[in-house]
Structure formats: C-alpha cells, structure tokens
Structure 1
C-alpha cells in the first residue's frame, strides 16, 4: 500500500467517520484558467461541506498522492505548468518518478478506493469517442467503472462522445448506469441524450443500497450515477449539435488525437458558445457535488 498524504480536514474526517466525497483535479489544471479554476474548485468543495460531507480533492504533488488539498496546495496546483493528466496507465509512473499530475475520472477512482472513499463527484465521464471504430479511442474511465468499487456522480457522458456506443460498452462491462430522478440518460450540458437510461433511482439512499448489495454479492466495479444538469442551466442538445459537429471537424483537420482531443473540443465549444458551455459546466459540477454528498451521507448512515 502506498503512503497517502491527507489534508488536515480530510484526516480529521476519516478519524471521525464523516462522509467523504472525492473530487478530481483535471478540472483545475486542464479545465479552465487561473484564478477561475481555483475559485471553481473551492466553490465545489463548499457545496459538499454545505451538504454535510467533506470534500477530498485528489492530485499527485511532487511524487506524492494527496487526498484532500490545503488552500496553499490548491493555489499552487492551479498555477502549475506542465501538469500531467493522469489515468490508470500513467498514474503509478508519475508517483514513482516524483512528478506532479492531475487525476482524471479513472485515476481519481483508483485513489479514492485506496483511501477508502466510496463516492466521487465529477462533471462528465469519458467514453467512446466518435469514430472509435477506426481510432479505437475509448476512455479508460469505462474500464475503471467496471473494476473499481466507487460510485461516480456525473452529468452523464460528455456530449462530444458517441453516447450510444458508450452505453453499450458500459452494459457489456456490467456497470450499473443509474439516471437520477428521470428516465432519460443525460448528456452533460443537456438534460437528455434522447436515450433511455438502463436504471432509474430517485434517492441517495437507493443508490447507496444498490452499491452495498453489489459488494455483498461479490460483484466488482462501481456505479455510474447520471445526474441531469439543472433545467435553468442546460444547453439544449439541438443547439449544441452543430457546434459539436464543427468542433469535431476542426479536430480532424488539425490531426488532434489521444488525450489532446477532449481539451481541444471543449475549448472549441467554449468559444463557439461564447462561454455558455463553461458556465453550464460549473453549474453541473456543483449539482453533482450536491448529490454525491447526499450519497456519501447515506453510505455513512448505513455503515
């Protein structure tokens, strides 16, 4: 077992048995510029505290895994240059080489499980990229959901992805995909992808109970809780469709590939929507943090 650095707040919460919610750090290093990135991270942490849980933002700093960041560490990460974007394949190498890295969904799940944290709030998961039948570009997030027992709260899959294929891969891997409070699977900035969700649950207690039952049955992996963006913050899918198509065409024309694809597309969409996509992104992350805190409380109460 590796040595983990816990922030004072996270360490105290673990000792007291308080509900914890893991948070990724790529939204800080690869999602938006300083100081907006740090301001948003602090706002999301504040939502979790207001809901009766404790946030644990996860990152690798100088070769050490941190679960929970102090204000100073968060500021330094928000301004750092050349931060690696870590997934399962390169997480261990970053730790071993003394590097600094921000955790994606997959890496955050791994770290949360190592730290005994059962609930994780993010924006949207990665998935099957459009054109994956020739590029084979499929996010490691999907495989991680199939093997690491963490409940992940997201606003569905990112709308830039091939959502039908993403759902097919999750089904084949045996990952429970649970829409919260509706029957449709949400699509990040939009409340509906036009596809039905495999499962629906309407309370944090139901979601926590389902995870406990999977563990009792010896089933591996986590759960994906697809939490729709609030009505007042969504961008309708019909408005986004031509913007996403243009972004994908630009990425292909410029030869963008691998880990560079998602940041490129999100930046293109940000400018095309005059910042509306980022505003929606911040709103949905806060909304997911709120639900994740409720699930973490339900886990803690169930014991």
Structure 2
C-alpha cells in the first residue's frame, strides 16, 4: 500500500471521527436543553435536524472513503452501494434545506415591525417542524434516482457506460426526456435554496446594520456594548451560511469536474469527497463556539462535579 493512500485514509478517518463526534455532541446538547427545559430557542429544532443530516453525510461518505483508501475497493455489494449513496444524497439535501430554512426563519424573526415579512412572525414558529419533516420527505423521494444510477463494482456491465467512483460505479442510463427532468429537479432545488439563503443573509446584514446605526448613541453613554440575543443568533447563522456557501461552491466545482471527465483520477474523487464532508464536519464546532449556553452548561457541570467530589472526600 502506497504511503499516499495511507495518508489519505488517515485524513478521511480523522475527518469522520471529528465530524461525527462534533455532531453527536451537538445533538446531545440540544436534547439535553429540551429534556431539562433550559433556555430553548426556536432555531434549536432546525439545528437538531441539521446535526442528524450532517452525521448521515459524514458516515455515508467518510467511512467508505476511509476503507477504500486503505486498499479495500470492492467491499460494498450492489445493495450497500445504492444505500450509501442514497443516504449521502438525502443527508446532503437536508443540509441544504435546513440551512436555508434556518436563515429564512431568522430573517423573518428579526424583521422590523411594519415590514411585509413581519406579518409572518406569528406563523413562523409553527411552520418549523412541518417544514423540516417536509424537507426529509422531499429529499427521500427525489433521490430515489440514485438507486438506478449507482451500482456495485461486482455488478459492472461491460456494454454500459460506467464511471468508476472508487468503491462503486455510476451507470449512465438514457431515459429520454426523464434524464433532463431529473437534472433540472436536482439543480432547481439547490438553486432555490441558495437563492433563499442569499436573500435571507442579505436581509439580515441590512437589518443588523440599521440596528447598529440606531443604537450607536447607546454605546457612547458607557452602557454595556453587548449585543442582544437575537443579534448573536443572527450573527451565528450568518457565519454558518457563509461557511456552507463556501464549501458548497468548492464541492460543486469538483463535482462538475467529476461529471466532465469520463475517467477522473483517484485524487480528484478523494478531494471531492473530502470537501463534500467539510461543512458537516466544521458546522457543529461553528455553532458550539458561538453559543454562550454551552459554556454555562459546562460551568454548571464543573461546579456540580467539584461539589460532589468534595462531598465524597468528606465521607
């Protein structure tokens, strides 16, 4: 086994481990807030769905890439290849949808009174749960086409045009008018979500800028310059959206290269897979780093352990 393959395998293994643990801790953290009835935000439900989708992307992409990098190429049969790529596509689609939903909801939440979006504030909290479930159902239905395209290496057909994906193969199926419709459906979903994210992010930046200008005189009176909870949540979502758009753009470029080249090199396939899982790996740490409730819970647990240890020492 070449040293380059070992290095790539270790990179995939590290990314998978760190990303899965980060999303698991984030999901556990939001579940802890819910069951202990601590301070809960309306966006926490969307972030729970995002954590689950991130975990699916990391596991379905990172684990097979790690095993393949260590030399096992044909370890997945036809059923597992279809399952792995289907789960990855569903998780990726839910990541896009939930990030879009998160940014649009926050833009509606902080919209000033009198704007046309302020009328949606009463209905927005009730729509979060159904829209999140709808996002899962929509992606599970749309991505069934993956079950026809992806096949295992053991089931390769010589008279069919195929593309080697490392541990699985992609079969080009000519279904007449259905193939352009599937491409249009996939691309329209991504374009719609990215368009809504761009609009929501731009709206939030404008609202925060106007709010900062309106309260500048407060900062000159030696009052606390700390921003409001709504502003901190908005800034966190803006960081999350910008992170997503950056990694999504890079991932789309590499996917385009994979589509154009008939027989892409292995380094291109591995780099594309690595970048595809970057957002799912980084996003939980971005969210945890900007959520002040985590430090409060950590401090409370530390104090509880200190008092418990002191009590045990006195017995």
The alignment's TM-score, normalised by the length of structure 1, stands at 0.28
Point out which structure has higher relative CO (alpha carbons under 8 A, 6+ apart).
2
The alignment's TM-score, normalised by the length of structure 2, stands at 0.27
Q: Give the structure with the higher percent helix.
A: 2
